[in-house]
């Protein structure tokens, strides 16, 4: 049966929760969506109840149990090891399934990718992970920004799933092949080449983690440092100027934000800004045209500025209301004392 590509967007938090659930069931997201689509097509209905009634009260900011940093590092180490093992399994399943009877440029490229290029990159990531979590680095990791390490693990998780998805359709396609045009494997060559490029993109993230310091939330200075640290990876002058202005705005406006806005700013908007700056830095270093990425960075900077400015505006409105209340109270007091014309004097 011919395969087709389906692309659509979902909320990032929904994707992450579904990835975790699928992983626990031994499925990929592609397999889960295929099961859903097959059931809908067969039964001509959504295979569960869809209503407008809420399931129950829910907070937009779920509580998070703070775990000791050592335990947190151990959990990340285990996740990295599991992802590396999954990479090896997928590469091995493809490489061992390639029959000698299939020839052609695309298939030769697939052989090289799975037998050498991707295999070496996966081994390099596993070796780097072993060094990262070795005993001699335990103290150093305590001083690093684990949010960047989480970004690295999420990117690696996406790559691992992409490779698993490719293997799940490529291996059956090779086993079912009985001859004919081998250009049908060009799509798989492209998908594996994309995995290879994405693996290369992990190194700058790891370097950023190794250069980082533990993130301290809840202060304007910490936010300034985070913005300036992100700015260090780009060279475009007008982007760096905009980021310096943003850091200055953070110093003035951050403390006026309420807790939910601070959380949203640091866990969502600022992460988007950091990601776009990372992509701009990669474009600059590769010698490409950074104009498009620079424009995205300015847009992300503008959004963060608006969030900060809204907090400052809210504080100014609160100050104005407080001032108006004080003026009104003073006017009433003056009227009672007879200090203003027409005011009622004190009772005799």
- pLDDT tens for each residue of 239-259: 999 999 988 888 888 877 777
Q: Is the pLDDT of residue 11 over 80?
A: no
Q: Which residues of 233-245 are buried (b: 16+ CB within 10 A; e: fewer)?
A: bbebeebbebbee
Domain ranges of the chain: 71-211, 220-328
The residue ranking higher by pLDDT, 147 or 305, is: 305
**Average pLDDT value for the chain:** 76
Residue 63: left if φ>0, alpha if ψ -120 to 50, beta else—which one? Answer: beta
- Over residues 331-339, the mean pLDDT reads 59
The residue ranking higher by pLDDT, 344 or 150, is: 150
pLDDT band at 85 (very low <50, low <70, confident <90, very high): very high
* Angstrom distance (rounded) from CA 87 to CA 156: 9
**pTM score of the predicted model:** 0.47
Q: Is the pLDDT of residue 136 over 50?
A: yes
* Angstrom distance (rounded) from CA 335 to CA 339: 6
The residue ranking higher by pLDDT, 37 or 7, is: 37
Sign of CA dihedral 224, 226, 229, 234: negative
Q: Is the pLDDT of residue 19 over 50?
A: yes
> Between the ranges 35-44, 196-205, 253-262, 324-333, where is the mean pLDDT highest?
196-205
Residues sharing a CB contact under 8 Å with residue 235, sequence separation 6 or more, in sequence order: 281, 284
pLDDT band at 326 (very low <50, low <70, confident <90, very high): low
pLDDT band at 53 (very low <50, low <70, confident <90, very high): very low
Q: Give the C-alpha distances (Å, rounded to integers) separating 214 from 146, 199, 221.
A: 7, 25, 13
Q: Give the C-alpha distances (Å, rounded to integers) separating 110 from 85, 106, 138, 166, 192.
A: 20, 6, 39, 11, 7
Q: Give the C-alpha distances (Å, rounded to integers) separating 53 from 13, 57, 329, 345.
A: 21, 11, 47, 61
State residue 303's pLDDT score. Answer: 86
State residue 133's pLDDT score. Answer: 84
State residue 63's pLDDT score. Answer: 37
The label of the residue with tokens 């059931």 reads: 39
Helices (H), the chain: 12-25, 29-43, 69-97, 105-112, 118-132, 138-141, 146-176, 186-200, 202-211, 220-231, 237-253, 259-264, 270-285, 291-337
State residue 5's pLDDT score. Answer: 60
Element (H, E) at 47: none
pLDDT band at 83 (very low <50, low <70, confident <90, very high): very high
pLDDT band at 27 (very low <50, low <70, confident <90, very high): low
- Over residues 46-51, the mean pLDDT reads 62
Contact (CB, 8 A) for 98 and 111: yes
Q: Is the pLDDT of residue 297 over 70?
A: yes
- pLDDT tens for each residue of 161-206: 988 988 888 888 888 877 777 777 788 888 888 989 999 999 888 8
Q: Give the C-alpha distances (Å, rounded to integers) separating 275 from 13, 136, 270.
A: 16, 30, 9
- Over residues 32-39, the mean pLDDT reads 74
State residue 86's pLDDT score. Answer: 92
Q: Is the pLDDT of residue 55 over 50?
A: no
Neighbours of 331 (CB within 10 A): 13
Q: Is the pLDDT of residue 81 over 70?
A: yes
Q: Is the pLDDT of residue 65 over 70?
A: no
The label of the residue with tokens 């505006």 reads: 313
Give percent of the chain with pLDDT exceeding 90.
Answer: 7
């Amino acid at each position: 049966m011919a395969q087709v590509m389906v692309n659509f967007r979902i909320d990032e938090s929904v994707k992450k929760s579904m990835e975790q659930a699928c992983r626990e069931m031994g499925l990929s997201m592609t397999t889960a969506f295929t099961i859903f689509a097959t059931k809908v097509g067969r039964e001509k209905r959504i295979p569960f109840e869809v209503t407008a009634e809420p399931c129950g009260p829910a907070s937009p900011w779920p509580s998070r149990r703070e775990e000791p940093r050592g335990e947190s590092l151990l959990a990340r180490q285990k996740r990295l090891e599991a992802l590396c093992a999954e990479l090896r399994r997928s590469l091995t399943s493809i490489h061992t399934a390639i029959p000698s009877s299939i020839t052609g440029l695309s298939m030769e490229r697939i052989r090289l990718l799975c037998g050498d290029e991707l295999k070496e990159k996966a081994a390099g990531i596993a070796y780097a992970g072993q060094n990262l979590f070795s005993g001699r680095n335990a103290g150093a990791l305590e001083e690093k920004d684990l949010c960047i390490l989480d970004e690295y693990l999420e990117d690696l998780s996406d790559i691992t799933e992409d490779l698993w998805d490719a293997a799940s359709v490529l291996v059956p396609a090779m086993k079912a092949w009985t001859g004919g045009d081998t250009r049908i494997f060009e799509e798989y060559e492209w998908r594996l080449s994309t995995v290879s490029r994405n693996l290369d993109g992990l190194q700058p993230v790891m370097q950023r983690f190794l250069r980082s310091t533990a993130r301290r939330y809840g202060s304007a200075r910490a936010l300034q440092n985070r913005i300036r640290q992100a700015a260090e990876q780009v060279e475009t002058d007008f982007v760096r100027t905009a980021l310096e202005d943003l850091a200055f705005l953070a110093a003035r406006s951050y403390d006026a934000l309420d807790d939910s806005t601070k959380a949203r700013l640091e866990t969502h908007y600022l992460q988007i800004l950091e990601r776009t700056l990372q992509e701009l830095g990669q474009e600059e270093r590769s010698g490409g045209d950074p104009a498009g990425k620079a424009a995205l960075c300015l847009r992300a900077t503008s959004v963060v500025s608006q969030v900060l400015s809204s907090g400052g505006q809210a504080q100014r409105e609160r100050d104005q209301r407080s001032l108006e209340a004080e003026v009104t109270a003073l006017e009433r007091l003056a009227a009672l004392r007879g200090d203003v014309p027409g005011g009622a004097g004190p009772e005799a």
